[in-house]
Structure 1
Amino acid sequence: MSYSAEISRTTPTAFLFLVDQSGSMQDTMENGKTKAQFVADVLNRTLYSLVQRCTKSEGTRDYFDVGVLGYSGSSAQNGLSGALGASVLNPISQIEANPLRIEDRTKRVDDGAGGLVNQSIKFPVWFEPKAAGGTPMCDAITRAAEELAAWCDAHPDSYPPTVLHITDGESTDGDPEALAGHLQQIGTKDGNVLLFNLHVSTAGGDAIRFPTSNAALPDAYACLLYRMSSPLPVHLHNVAMDKGINATMESRGFIYNGEIAEIVDFFDIGTRAAQLR
């Protein structure tokens, strides 16, 4: 299948983020933030980037439908709230119009003389960090499949949806592999749903990025996430290569032991769908 359909307002695509919000996401990363806080920051930045990619002179064009499922305890829930809480998938114009709040933050920028200075920025927040309870991965994948089966039925000519799954632990409600396989059988005329997985780590050590086999993976859990991951389509392989990642045409959309840089790259690569029109 081609993964080459043009994306337009009449044939949008969908991005669904699955975010582990179990208790272990409270662990602290090397930047001093918890895994939950850092993933939330990167996800909010990614949502803002998607809005910017759809913004034209007349406003925000609905090239994308976007949703978040957070999972903890015994079930998965809509990760967005307020005006976005009624539906899991929302048009990008509704995402743009309905942040929970706008925060004032500071970032370091080049001062033009070889140094760095602080710059105040506006930071929209749609998704809040949470870390409590178990890891009901099976329920999250089941919910994703339900949402995306309905979406694909309504958009048969579109570039297929992409699921970006972030987790730091094993499922506590059963084996998710068969469910992940069912999810990847859902699709449009242009291809099946893409499922990419990232394992978030605080343990240190080198990340394993977009492997071509499970030979270098350290344990059965890593091999499971690898098997659950879709092969990278050609255009996403090229995006990974442009970032200096040694991906090949056999690479799968999977990162193991990912820390700060890998989380940022994972979201960016995974949301680089085909051409907007």
Structure 2
Amino acid sequence: MYTAEINRRRPACLLLLVDQSFSMSEQWGTGPSKADALALSVNRLLGNAVIQCSKGDNRVLDYFEIGVIGYGGEVQFALHGTDAGRPLLPISQVADNPRRIDEVMRKEADGAGGIIQVPMAVPVWVDATANGPTPMVGALGLAEQVLSGWCSQHANSFPPIVINLTDGVSTDGDPRPVAERVRSVRTDDGPALMFNVHLSSSSFGEVLLPNSAGALPDDYASLLFEMSSELPVQMAEAAAGLGYAVQPGARGFLYNAQATSVIEFLDIGTRPITPSGRRELLPGPAQTT
């Protein structure tokens, strides 16, 4: 399982579920709100994905399709350009269709020992939102529908990757049954991978990629652990390469995650669909793969 080659004939699928409930308006540590920080992380992931799929002649190769489901005041497709009729977009269309381009200031060395502020253009595909309850069951149910349709059309592809990012308890029921159905959606290469990232400002320390629920502080943390898939070999190796103490059976779950850990995990969780170094990305004539 989880060995299918990813190319334009057999793209991969990445679906992010983003908590947009009112509690996401809370400050995350000493930084901005959880909603703002999470939107920044998601947009950074999308921007990096565009770069990784880019060829030197300005083409973006469609190694995967991506979607974002936001859940708060309503369950909605949150990636700009998606809707109920088209819940996923090829990465080339993501590249061509940001919601807007923001200008942010970045610190850089001035070459004389000082630091200067330099403007940088940043594409935005997903806006920060914080409103309403936490309808996680509804979001997972929509994810199941999207992935079932995708897998029926991509039976030979790498299984879908689902990453749920949340700070709260589901307000519309127990999410475990529908999470199990999401994990049961499959291609010929295996069942979908579902990972969960819990954001919190509590004093309890981070729990990163555990292989059991024993170190978790409460029933809710154990519930999210139960909903999470075990890391495939290539993801476990990627996590170990970043310094994580990965034990056999480690699951794709972060509890009380801090911003740096979330950014790193988004990289780990999408490692199989990162096409850097593939033949098609080398300079040369257009490929047909």
* TM-score normalised by L of structure 2: 0.91
Residue 271 of structure 1: CA displacement?
A: 1.1
Is the Cα–Cα contact under 8 Å of residues 9 and 62 in structure 1 kept in the other structure? yes
Which residue matches 2:51?
52
Which residue matches 2:127?
128
Is the Cα–Cα contact under 8 Å of residues 84 and 98 in structure 1 kept in the other structure? no
Is the Cα–Cα contact under 8 Å of residues 5 and 274 in structure 1 kept in the other structure? no
Which residue matches 1:70?
70
Distance 2:156 2:108 in 1: 42
Residue 205 of structure 1: CA displacement?
A: 3.7
Distance 2:38 2:193 in 1: 20
Is the Cα–Cα contact under 8 Å of residues 15 and 161 in structure 1 kept in the other structure? yes
Q: Secondary structure at the match of 2:271?
A: coil
Which residue matches 2:175?
176
Is the Cα–Cα contact under 8 Å of residues 18 and 164 in structure 2 kept in the other structure? yes
Residue 134 of structure 1: CA displacement?
A: 0.5
Aligned residue pairs total 274
Is the Cα–Cα contact under 8 Å of residues 52 and 274 in structure 2 kept in the other structure? no
Listed one character per residue, the Cα deviations across residues 120-176 of structure 1 (whole Å, up to 9, x for unaligned) are 211000000110110000000000000001101100010111001000010000000
Which residue matches 1:255?
254
Letter of the 2:70 counterpart: G
Which residue matches 1:167?
166
- Quickly say closer, same or farther: Cα 1:40–1:275, change in 2 above 3 A: closer
Residue 39 of structure 1: CA displacement?
A: 0.1
Say if 2:184 is the partner of 1:218: no
- Quickly say closer, same or farther: Cα 1:112–1:242, change in 2 above 3 A: farther
Letter of the 1:49 counterpart: N
Which residue matches 1:191?
190
Distance 1:67 1:9 in 2: 17
Is the Cα–Cα contact under 8 Å of residues 107 and 117 in structure 2 kept in the other structure? yes
Runs (5+) with no aligned partner, structure 2: 279-289
Q: Secondary structure at the match of 2:65?
A: strand
Say if 2:78 is the partner of 1:84: no
Q: Secondary structure at the match of 1:221?
A: helix
Is the Cα–Cα contact under 8 Å of residues 17 and 68 in structure 2 kept in the other structure? yes
Is the Cα–Cα contact under 8 Å of residues 3 and 274 in structure 1 kept in the other structure? no
Runs (5+) with no aligned partner, structure 1: none
Distance 2:274 2:41 in 1: 23
Is the Cα–Cα contact under 8 Å of residues 84 and 94 in structure 1 kept in the other structure? no
Residue 275 of structure 1: CA displacement?
A: 6.6
Q: Secondary structure at the match of 2:184?
A: coil
Residue 107 of structure 1: CA displacement?
A: 2.2
Which residue matches 1:61?
61
